[in-house]
Amino acid sequence: MKIQLLGTGGYHPSDVRQTASFLLPEAGIALDAGTGIYRLPAAMQTEDLHLFLSHPHWDHIIGLTYLYVPLLTGQIRSVTLYGNAHTFAAISTHLFAEPTFSHMPDFQFVLLEDLSESKVELNGVQVSWQPLPSHPGGSTAYLLEDGRSRFAYVTDTFVDGSYHELIQEVDLLIHECYFSDELSEWAEKTGHSYLSQVASLARDCRVKQLLLTHIDPRENEESPWDLTAAREIFPLVDFARDQTLIQLPGN
């Protein structure tokens, strides 16, 4: 399984990070449509795109407007969106609306609520999901498995103990970490996570590797915090970086 990191920042772009978007180029599966998705057409290796959305905050959906031209010109043949009813309602009511962006591209919509057992199989990859309750309006965690490796994407949540089972022993956990430990008091209030809490989660769930994403964009650096203390909790932790290509297993 290959995973291209298109955007690893939270809230708004910084000099080093676009907002949330990840792509499995060989399978044509993407996660979230933040500003980083402008990089997607060049990285895709399929004609059709299956795009799973965590929730409808702007930093996760604004890039849907960037898919208008690639669809119009045929650079991408089709885009199927997967999300919950709350997310789809926000996209059609607030994102593609007069006068900000009147032309909704020809997306196909698949409601997560309509898929039985909360999973779907696409191009040899099984995608399953779970609602995350600890973020304003909620979010959705995803698990992707191709028979050889398992990868979980968890963003916009406080570490609340509700999704331990989903991410148990994955080869790679890409988890949000908006705050350093210095600002940990803000995490629960805002529905986000902080460093030592995410490292402890990775240890407790016995994941193989942890990459931190959805970093506070005021931290305008590739490596904003010293990870020494976090690595005492969980050694294989690092910052997710835009434009990195991950190969699982191995890497």
**How many angstroms separate the Cα of 131 from the Cα of each of 120, 126, 166, 181?**
15, 17, 11, 26
State how far the Cα of 215 lies from the Cα of 194, in Å rounded to an integer.
10
Q: Which residues pair with 143 in a beta bridge?
A: 128, 152
Q: Which of 125, 126, 157 is nearest to 141 (CA)?
A: 157
Nearer to Zn ion, 57 or 175 (CB): 57
Give the shortest CB-20-to-Zn ion separation in angstroms: 6
Nearer to Zn ion, 154 or 167 (CB): 154
Give the shortest CB-40-to-Zn ion separation in angstroms: 18
Q: Which of 115, 107, 207 is nearest to 154 (CA)?
A: 207
Give the shortest CB-53-to-Zn ion separation in angstroms: 11
Angle at Cα 130 formed by Cα 127 and Cα 136, nearest 5°? 130
Nearer to Zn ion, 59 or 219 (CB): 59
**What does residue 164 show for φ and ψ, rounded to 5 degrees?**
-55, -45
Q: Which of 126, 174, 183 is nearest to 152 (CA)?
A: 174
Nearer to Zn ion, 125 or 215 (CB): 215
Nearer to Zn ion, 20 or 199 (CB): 20
Q: Which residues lie near Zn ion (CB under 5 A)?
A: 57, 59, 156
Give the shortest CB-60-to-Zn ion separation in angstroms: 6
Residue nearest to Zn ion (CB): 57
Give the shortest CB-158-to-Zn ion separation in angstroms: 12
User: Could you identify the residue written with the tokens 């904003």?
Assistant: 224
Give the shortest CB-224-to-Zn ion separation in angstroms: 17
Nearer to Zn ion, 137 or 249 (CB): 137
Chain length of the chain: 251
